[in-house]
Structure 1
Amino acid sequence: MSGPVFLSGSTMRHVLVMTGTSSVGLIAMFTVDVVDMFFLTLLGEQRLVAAVGFAGALLFFLLSLGIGLQIALGALVARAEGNRDRPLAGRYCSSVLWFNALSVGLVAAFVWIQLPELLQLLGASGDTLNYALAYSRIQIPAVPLLVLGMSLSAGLRAVGDARHSMYATLAGAGTNALLDPILIFYFGLGIEGAAWASVASRVVVVAYAGYVLFARHRLATRVSPRMVMSDAPAIMVIAIPAVLTNLATPLGNSLVLRMMSQFGDSAVAASAVMGRLAPLAFAVVFAVSGAVGPIVGQNAGARRYDRVRQTLLDASKFVVAYVAVAWLILWLAQDFLVAKFTVSALAADLLRFYIYFLVGAFAFNGLLFVANASFNNLGRAYLATLFNYAKVFLGVVPAAYLGASLYGARGLMIGEALGASLFGVLGLFSALALVRRLQRDYPPLNL
C-alpha cells in the first residue's frame, strides 16, 4: 500500500467498496452457520438445534470479546496510516496481536472450566445440556484462533486491503462448508462434526490473513515483551471500552435467551434459527461498521472531519436502504425458511412473526453500529460503551421482560426490537454532534 487511501475520493464509494468486500466474506461465513443449522435439523432432533442456541450464546460472548479487541488494532493502525507513520502502524499491529491472543486465551480458559455451570445458567438442561457441552468443548479451545483471524483481517482493512481480508474469510467459510457434511454425516459425528469443521476454518483464516499481512504488506514487525507492555496503555484505552461495548450485546442476548427458555426448547430453537438467519440477512449491515472504521480512522488522523461526517451519513443511508431490501427478500422467502429450519408449530409461528413485523427494526441496530465505529475511531470509545449498555439495560431487557409478561414469546420479541431502536437513533445523532465539535476545534493537517 502506498499511503492512506481514504483521504481522497468519494466517501460513499469508499463505504460501498469496503462494505462490499467485507460483506462477501461475512455472507459466506454466516451462510455456513445457516448450513450448519440446516444439517442439524436434518438429523430430526429439536434438542440439537436448541443446544447450538445455548452454546452459541457463550460463543457469541467470546466472539464479541474478540471484536472489541480487534477494534483496537484497526483503530490504532488506521490512525497511524492516516498520519503516514508506517513504522508506528507496524508496531501497533504486532503489539495488539500479542495482546489479543493472550487476553482471549485467558478468558476462554475460564469459560472452559465453568462450562457446565454457564450453560445451565442460560437455561440448558437434560440432553440439550449434554449436546451443548459436546459442541462447546470443541469450539472454545479454538476461540484464540478465531480472534487472531479477526485481528489479522482488521489489520488488512486498516491499510485499505479489504480484498484480501475478504479472501481470508471466504477461505475459512469454504473450508467449513466443505467439511460440514463430511464430518456430520459421512463420519457420523453429528453436532461434534459441525464444531470440528468450524475449528478447521479458523486455522485457514489465520494462515491466509497472516501470510498476506506479514509477507506482502510487511505491516507487522518484531516486538519484545517490553514493547508490548509499553504499548498496552494505548491499546487498552481503545480495547477496554470496545470490549465492554461488544460484551453488552451477548449479555443482553443471554438474558433474553434465559427469558425465552421459559417457553420451552421449541422457542429456544426458534431463537437459534433467527440468530443464524439475521446475521446472514444483515451481513452487509455488520460489514458497514467494519468498513466505516478505517475510513473514519484515516480521515480523523488527518483531521478531515468533513469527510468523517459525510462517511457517517453515507453509511447510515446505505444501512436503511439495505435493510428495506433484505426485509422484502425475507418476506418472499418465508415459506421456504419455515419449512427448512423449523420442526415444531411454535418455532414456525415465531419465525413467521419475526419476518412479518420485526425485521425492519434491524436498521436501528445498523445506525448504532455506524455510530459506535465512529466513537471507537475518534478517541471516544467510552461513548460506544455507554450507548450499548444503555440499549441493553434501559431498552432491550426491560422491554423484553415486559413484553414476555404480557404477551408471551411474541411479546418478548417485540420488546427486544423496540428497546434497541431508540438507542440506534440517539447514538447516530451523538456521533454527528461529536464530529461537528471536532471539526470546529481541530483544523485539517497539511499532509
Structure 2
Amino acid sequence: MVTGSQAALRRERILTAAIRQRLIDPDDALLAGFVDLDGVADSVAALQQAFRGSVSVLHAFAAKANPLVPLLKELRGLGMGCEVASAGELAQALAAGFAPEQIVFDSPAKTRAELRQALELGVAVNADNFQELDRIGDLLATCSSTSRIGIRINPQVGAGSIAASSTATATSKFGIALEDDGNMQRLLRAYREHPWLTWVHAHVGSQGCPLDLIAEGIAKTVAFADKVNAEIGRRQITGIDIGGGLPVDFDTDDTTPGFDTYVAHLRDHAPALFTGAYRIVTEFGHSLLSKNGFTAAYVEYTKTSGGRPIAITHAGAQVATRTVFQPDSWPLRVAAHHPTGARKTGPLVAQDIAGPLCFAGDVIARARRLPALVPGDVVTILDTGAYCFSAPYHFNTLPEPAVYGVRTGPRGDVRFELLRPAQTIDDLVTRASH
C-alpha cells in the first residue's frame, strides 16, 4: 500500500520530469493534466481482486469519468469493459476497441437512432423508463439483437450527504421508482411479456453516499430480481448491474474505503448476489481514477485583498468545474511547488488559490494553508484523475490543456504518453467560426 509521503514524492518526481521536458512551461504550457497509469492498473487490480471468487463479473469503466480514447484502450487492456451514457461516449468506447458485448449503454435520454445502433451492434442496454422499454420493443420487432437488455430501477433508499450525487432518492430523475404506486406490477408484467428482458440495473450514488446506503439499494435490487423470477416462475432475470458508487477520500492520499470494504458491505446486505444465481456488472469510474491523477498549473500573479493573500493560477473552473461551483461537496487538495517542481516548504500562510476565469467564484481553494506562493511557482491540484479531464468548462474560451499518461520505470525513470494534445488558439477560433 502506498503511503501519503510516497504518493507526494511520486507526484514531485513526475512534476519535476514534466517541467524538465517542458510539458508544463511558463511560456508555452501553463497548465497540464497527468494520469498515473501504474496507479490506474493497481486500482483496477484491487477492484478485480475484491470480486474474485464471485460469479461472472464484467467491470465496466464509467466513461464519463475520463473518456480519453488512449486511456480507455489502457483500461480495456487491463480487462475492463466500458459503461457509456451518450452517443459520443459510445463512439469513444468503440474507437478504443471495446467489443460491443463489453459495453453498457445507460443514458436516460437515448434516441431511437442511438437505441437502434446499440441493438444492431449488440451493446448492452439498460432502459431508463417504461416509454423507452416500449421503444426498444418496437425496434426489436424489426431487427434481431444479441444485446443484453435490462431496466434501471430506482430502489428509493434515500440520499447521502450530497443530494446531486444521490440517484436513489424518492424523486430521482433516474430509473423507474420501485415503490411508486403501480410500478411493481407494471415491472412484473414487463418481464413476463418480454423474454428478451433479462437484466436489472440500479445505481444508488457515489460521493457522499455511505456504503451501507449503497449496499441497501443493491439489496433491494437483488430482492426485486428474486421476486420477478419467483412470480414469473422461470429464471427471467439472469444478471444484475449494480452500478458503481465507491466514495473517494479527498482529504488524504488514502484510497479508503477500498473495493474490498465495499464488497464486504454487499455480502452483508445482499448475500444472494454472490451465490452464482446472477451475472454481475459494475460501473466504477470516479473511484478508479480520481486518486490517480493531478493537474499542474503555474502561478501567474500574487496579491492581497482585504488582508487575504491570493494566488492567481491557470487552473480554475475550466478543469475543476465541480469544485468551483460546489466547493463543500467536491473539495480538492492543493500542493505548492518551486518552479523546478520541488515541493515548497516553510511557514504556512492562509491564501486563496484562484483560477484565470473572469468571474469572482473561480476559486479552487479558499484560505488554504500553504507555503507562500509567488509568481512562477507551480501548484498541483490533487485527485483530479476523474471528471477534471472529461468535463471542460469553456467560459472565456480557454483552451483545453494537454493530458499525459505517466509510467515509472524500475529505476524511478518517468515516461510520458500523450493522452490528449493541448488545444490551440487556432483550434478554438476554428470551432467558433463554422
Same fold (TM over 0.5): no
Could you state the TM-score of these two structures normalised by the residue count of structure 2? 0.26
More helix by share: 1
Could you state the TM-score of these two structures normalised by the residue count of structure 1? 0.26
Q: Which has the larger radius of gyration?
A: 2
Which fold has the larger relative contact order, with Cα–Cα distance below 8 Å and residues 6 or more apart in sequence? 1
More strand by share: 2
